[in-house]
């Protein structure tokens, strides 16, 4: 997933970013409300983590603008203040959830997953193809009943494949989805990541699931 973090406290933003990157998600960060609105408007994010107290445009004003423009991106509000009226106002403006500071990263990650599932209508926690199974809740992967250990990035890559079975995914798409930047044709970072994943889930099993589509990208299929 691509997550936008709009938070002006540098230490807090760094902790959030590090925690979300550990999940294999691509994260963009800014510390100003006006810049945050520009990023949220110009890009397709899966969720926004939005602090209420910001320099420039404050979080509630930013949220009001997003919803006024019919931008449906899921938003979690953060605030160090325990003002109930502020919380209610944020939810009435269209926030999907609210988390008071301080909070645990485990809870923030769980809440992001929950609001994205609610907004997309996705209720599945297990993605399967042939004898390969990926559990989003427990973050486990098995093939032919054998447990397979993946890094956070490999897990995110496999989740992307299994969410798009049979679809050819270009290197540009995978780059933007997992790394959050424009694909540089001079690098082979995507090919290396796919090779490492393929070695773990395909090398010792049949059928081979990850297919190379020459000149385009990759797909996952049991056919």
Q: Mind listing the pLDDT tens digit for each residue in 30-73?
A: 999 999 999 999 888 999 999 999 999 999 999 999 999 989 89
Query: What's the predicted TM-score (pTM) here?
Result: 0.60
What kind and span of H or E run contains 217?
Answer: strand 217-220
Mean pLDDT across 118-139? 78
Q: What is the pLDDT of residue 194?
A: 95
Q: Where are the domains of the chain?
A: 2-120, 126-220
Spatial separation of the C-alpha atoms in residues 99 and 7, rounded to whole Å: 13
Of 180 and 190, the structure prediction assigns the larger pLDDT to 190
Which top CATH class is 2-120?
A: alpha beta
CA 16, distance to chain mean position in Å, is: 13
pLDDT of residue 88: 84
d(CA 12, CA 16): 6
Nearby residues of 220 by Cβ (< 8 Å), 6 or more positions away: 129, 161, 162, 164, 165, 166, 209, 210, 211
Q: Give the mean pLDDT of 110-115.
A: 88
Average pLDDT value for the chain: 87
Which CATH class for the 126-220 domain?
mainly alpha
Q: Which two tokens stand for residue 2?
A: 């691509």
């Amino acid at each position: 997933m691509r997550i936008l973090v709009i938070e002006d406290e540098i230490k807090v933003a760094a902790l959030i970013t590090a925690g979300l990157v550990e999940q294999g998600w691509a994260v963009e960060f800014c510390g100003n409300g006006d810049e945050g609105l520009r990023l949220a408007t110009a890009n397709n994010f899966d969720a926004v983590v939005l602090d209420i107290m910001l320099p420039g445009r404050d979080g509630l004003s930013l949220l009001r603008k997003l919803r006024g423009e019919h931008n449906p991106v899921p938003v979690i509000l953060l605030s160090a203040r325990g003002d109930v009226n502020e919380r209610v106002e944020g939810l009435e403006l269209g926030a999907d959830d609210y988390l008071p500071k301080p909070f645990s990263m485990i809870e923030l990650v769980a809440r992001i997953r929950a609001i994205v599932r609610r907004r997309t209508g996705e209720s599945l926690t297990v993605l399967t193809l042939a004898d390969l199974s990926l559990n989003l809740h427990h973050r486990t992967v098995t093939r032919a009943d054998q447990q397979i250990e993946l890094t956070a990035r490999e897990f995110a890559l496999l989740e992307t494949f299994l969410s798009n079975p049979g679809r050819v995914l270009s290197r540009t798409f995978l780059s933007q989805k997992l790394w959050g930047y424009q694909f540089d044709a001079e690098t082979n970072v995507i090919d290396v990541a796919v090779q490492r994943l393929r070695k773990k889930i395909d090398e010792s099993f049949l059928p081979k699931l990850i297919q190379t589509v020459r000149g385009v990208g990759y797909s996952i299929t049991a056919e």
